[in-house]
Amino acid sequence: MICILIVAGHDTVLQGQLKNDDTGLYGHLTGVPKALLPGVGGKKILDFWWETVNTRQLFTEVYLVTNADKYKHYERWATANDFPVENLVNDGSTTLEDRLGAVADLELSIRSRGLKDDIMVIAGDMLCDDRNFDIAQVVRFYRSKPGDLVIYYEMEESEKSDSRGIVEVCSDTHRITCFLEKPAEGLTSSRLASVVFYCLQKDTLPYLSEFLSCNLDISDRTMGKFWEWFINTQKMPVFGMKLPTGFQLIGQVGLSEYAKWLAHYSAKQRESPVKPITCRSYARVGLMGNPSDGFNGKTIAMSISNFWAEVTLLESQTLVLLPHPLNDPTEFGSLQDLYHISRKEGYLGGLRLLQATCKKFCQFCSKQGIALRKQNFTLKYDTNIPRQVGLAGSSAIVSATLKCLMKFYNITDNDLPKPVKANFILNVETDELFITAGLQDRVVQVYEGLVYMDFSEQLMEAKGYGEYLCMGMDSLPPFWLAYLGDPSDSGRIHSNVRQRWLNGEPEVIEAMKSFAELTDQARSAIQSKDWVMLAQLMDKNLELRRSIYTDDCLGPGNLKMIQIARQFGSSVKLPGSGGAVVGLCLDPDQMVEMKKAFQEAGCVFCVLIPYDPSCPSSRNQDHKSINN
């Protein structure tokens, strides 16, 4: 592949204002070509691009096309920066009026040097707020697609679409379905802006000459106009790749615009490595319908702020995953100490979750055409979610890790929408770590709060995800939770039900349909605040579960907790895969006595504090007095 840097524009507006600058700050830049102006980090703008593409592993040659007016400046720059002077291309223009236009400059470079290879084209006078993105990712993604490649980014709020080339991109294939050069307001809802950063197949090069023969007006010979013609009219396959960073083409901008964007990007660079990123995800309880989420059923689940997983990411020289001192032990007091810890906590801590999430995140971004900057980090985690009691502790760590990675790499919800994010978290656990799991936990940890979920086969096959609705959380009753002090592995409780379901066993099929019906009834009860009805439905959910999983599968620990709850007239069900029970007791006095009974049986008891993302500070105060 060959790279061509285009710096042939005539910066008349900027140069005029530099000459007349009376602040004394910019007068020394008079006559300096725009690509050689100071960029982010103090380096010249062109220096950044030359350092980025100066790699023989990717490019056999790098050319730079400029105009006659500024040629000597670039010749001097080339000798000072080990750029081959013989690879400078002079387009012969000396003024804005006799300019060739970007497409003609590109075509001149290709024709005059007899280039017959794939070409990467970059405007050498673009400010970029990311000094570390990996251009090799761009080349790899381009080579994976059967067409040309256009780089784009998501515009900031202050940027207007009528000053950019806007692309509309198919989220599945990444093919650009429409290219609009500086569209009028309201013509498109897309906020994805193309920049002069492209990869062209060698078979595309003849189209440059064809485009020029059809567009004799210099003002039409821009790269944006070319792509508009090539994609919209010629219907040629062009794909898009997102860089999670911002770009500003200096072009015909004034001094104030140049200074504004330089200061903006410089400030972002100063801020980015300093502040650690900390994200939290909460445990959840399944209130209704579980475990039908793995069987095309319906569920309702709730985030609880009693228990959480927190991940912190800090930029570092190398990529480091720090083990948790309690959950990832490597030293033990004795063989007996190792035995007791392993028996109670199992063998698998949270470190594998961090590693699997990072691996899956890298894979996802590569597949989705999102280039990540070359920047390393250190990840550490903490959690107070009880292990092996079915409260979604593993997925909480994965979810919090994903939040950190998205913030660090500037990946937005447009890149990874919430329904897809839930699927991503599930895939980390099922595909990478072979953990038996359903979608419910991941959905509620992504959406947060009280969430109704429909996983019907029709929805899952049509969209790849279900229908997820956040429900109101006003005036919720005091749900309680009890869990075993010495639990077994909660994943074992699923037994052979999945295989029976796959085999089409009528009893299991009907049970999953009944779970869905109970969930719809529970949704109505919550909306009407009929807590007596909700309590009855929770009991029905448990009995239905016992009918298909059997008491032998539930195990003595879960059955003991169920028995205690019912002694005090409380509804009860399993909030997850086992090791804990959740219930609704509408008699406060009975709640107090029930708490004592659970504690005497060696269980941990608490009243749940619902986590409401719309007002977390106030919601997190609910029910605290009952836990004291």
> Are the C-beta atoms of 476 and 582 separated by less than 8 Å?
no
Taking CA 352 as the corner, what is the angle to CA 349 and CA 353, rounded to the nearest 5 degrees? 90
Q: 59: which residues sit within 8 A by CB, 6+ positions away?
A: 1, 2, 3, 53, 120
Residue type, 265: Y
CA neighbours within 13 Å on the CB side: how many for 432?
Answer: 20
DSSP type of residue 175: B
User: Between β-strands 148-154 and 238-242, what pairing exists: parallel, antiparallel or unpaired?
Assistant: parallel
Task: State the first-to-last Cα distance of the chain, in angstroms, to the nearest integer.
Answer: 68
User: How long, in residues, is the chain?
Assistant: 628
Cβ burial of 391 (10 Å; 0-12, 13-18, 19+) is: buried
Residue type, 69: D
User: What are the structure tokens assigned to 328, written together?
Assistant: 């990832």
Q: 371: which residues sit within 8 A by CB, 6+ positions away?
A: 133, 134, 135, 137, 138, 141, 151, 241, 242, 243, 244, 365
Helix (H, G, I), strand (E, B) or coil at 568: coil
Distance between CA atoms of residues 375 and 319, nearest Å? 9
Distance between CA atoms of residues 471 and 445, nearest Å? 14
User: Between β-strands 247-249 and 2-6, what pairing exists: parallel, antiparallel or unpaired?
Assistant: unpaired
CA dihedral (335, 337, 342, 343) in degrees, to 10, reads: 110
Cis peptide, bond prior to residue 291, ω within 30 of zero:
yes
Q: Which of 441, 454, 612, 622 is catalytic?
A: 441
Q: 98: which residues sit within 8 A by CB, 6+ positions away?
A: none
Taking CA 267 as the corner, what is the angle to CA 265 and CA 268, rounded to the nearest 5 degrees? 65
Query: How many angstroms separate the most distant Cα atoms in the chain?
Result: 93
> Are the C-beta atoms of 198 and 121 separated by less than 8 Å?
yes
> Are the C-beta atoms of 492 and 554 separated by less than 8 Å?
no
Distance between CA atoms of residues 51 and 372, nearest Å? 17
Distance between CA atoms of residues 409 and 133, nearest Å? 10
Closest CA to 482 of 566, 589, 377, 546: 566
Distance between CA atoms of residues 482 and 191, nearest Å? 48
User: Taken in order 381, 382, 387, 393, is the CA torsion positive or negative?
Assistant: negative
DSSP type of residue 371: P
User: Between β-strands 61-66 and 88-90, what pairing exists: parallel, antiparallel or unpaired?
Assistant: parallel
- Asked about 162 being catalytic, the answer comes back as no
3-state helix, strand, coil in the chain (%, to 5): 45, 20, 35
| φ, ψ (nearest 5 deg) of residue 279 | -130, 145
> Are the C-beta atoms of 202 and 118 separated by less than 8 Å?
yes
Question: Catalytic residues, which ones?
Answer: 441
